Amino acid sequence: MTEYRAWKTNGFAAILGVLVFLALAGWSIYLSVLEPSVTGILLAVVSFLAATLLASGIFEVQPNQAKALVFFGKYIGSVRDSGIWFSIPLTTRKMVSLRVRNFNCKTLKVNDVEGNPAEIAAVVVFKVVDSAKALFDVDHYEQFVEIQSETALRHVATKYPYDLFEEAGYSLRGNAEEVATELARELEARLAVAGVEVIEARLTHLAYATEIASAMLQRQQATAIVAARPKIVDGAVGMAQMAIAQLQRNNIVELDEERKVAMINNLMVAIVSDRGAQPVINTGSLY
């Protein structure tokens, strides 16, 4: 079902008509009291019924709100313009908010594409763009948005690994923008049936599940150390070269090839090691 505009007219004119009919009914009753007459009583009843009928068609619409009109079970259109309006009498009116709203998905525990359990949550920004679909195509569109948001988030999270480390491709941690875009696109397709437009979807929480968090942290630390080793080695070689060159330039000590090798070995071990090096003091001769 698709929304369309309902017939309406100025509500203040209808209010004026109600007052006129009520005044006519009161005047007819007054005349009937002074001089009893079947015509006067009949006119009073008809005027009162006409006022009641007109009053049933008057309604108010707030800004960023829509009211769907149903006449004896048939949808006859929606009114989006704010103000006081008059439409077909004896209709029931169902209100739908058109304001932009947020929905915070609760934290879900899912398995990524590699089977690692992870915790993930997101916020979805949406608004209703079709009041007829929101009211008549689904039951309780707000609950529908909640369930479909959690389902889409779970589906997207299972398509990617949590982290790729040295591999190429998309991951939940390294490509949050791309994952959010795909989540919004999938939600748009799922919620179109409810007349809901997804404005934005963003991840608000992403972490390894508690049971594997410690192991994954050790893996990340090891990967970081391996990635930093080339820079550490380059720095260590440069420092060893500078130390030997300065010692020789200042004539502090004469180093033959064997002593140079020993000094370079000690410097490289001390600098490259990821733990504090324990010095060994040589109290005798190198030879």
Query: CB–CB of 77/7 below 8 Å?
Result: yes
Mean local confidence (pLDDT), 242-265: 71
Using pLDDT thresholds of 50, 70 and 90, give the confidence band for residue 244.
confident
Per-residue pLDDT reduced to its tens digit, 75-98: 999 999 999 999 999 999 999 999
> Exposed/middle/buried for 79, CB within 10 Å: 0-12, 13-18, 19+?
buried
CA-to-CA separations, 20 to 57, 59, 87, 88, in angstroms, rounded? 16, 18, 18, 19
Q: Which residue in 264, 208, 217 sits closest to 241, CA to CA?
A: 264
What confidence tier does 276 reach under pLDDT thresholds 50, 70, 90? low
Torsion, Cα 116 183 102 162, to 10 degrees, reads 20
Highest mean pLDDT among 36-50, 122-136, 219-233: 122-136
The answer to whether 122 touches 168, Cβ cutoff 8 Å, is no
Instruction: Render pLDDT for 155-192 as a digit per residue (tens, 0 to 9).
Output: 999 998 888 766 667 888 888 889 999 999 999 999 99
Q: What per-residue confidence (pLDDT) applies to 138? A: 93
Contact 60, 83 (CB under 8 A): yes
pLDDT higher than threshold 70 for residue 282: no
**Mean pLDDT computed over 195-209:** 90
Share the mean pLDDT of the chain.
84
Taken in order 253, 258, 261, 266, is the CA torsion positive or negative?
negative
CATH H-level, domain 101-208: superfamily: Band 7 domain (3.30.479.30)
pLDDT (tens digit, 9 = 90+) per residue, 38-64? 888 888 899 999 999 999 999 999 999
Is the pTM for the entire model greater than 0.95? no
pLDDT tens digits for range 35-44: 777 888 888 8
**DSSP annotation of 35:** S
Query: What does 250-277 look like in DSSP terms, one character per residue?
Result: TTS----HHHHHHHHHHHHHHHH-SS--
Strand spans (E) along the chain: 9-10, 58-61, 65-71, 74-79, 83-86, 92-97, 101-104, 108-111, 117-128, 196-208
85 alpha carbon, distance to own chain's centre: 35
Q: What is the pLDDT of residue 189?
A: 92
Q: What is the pLDDT of residue 135?
A: 94
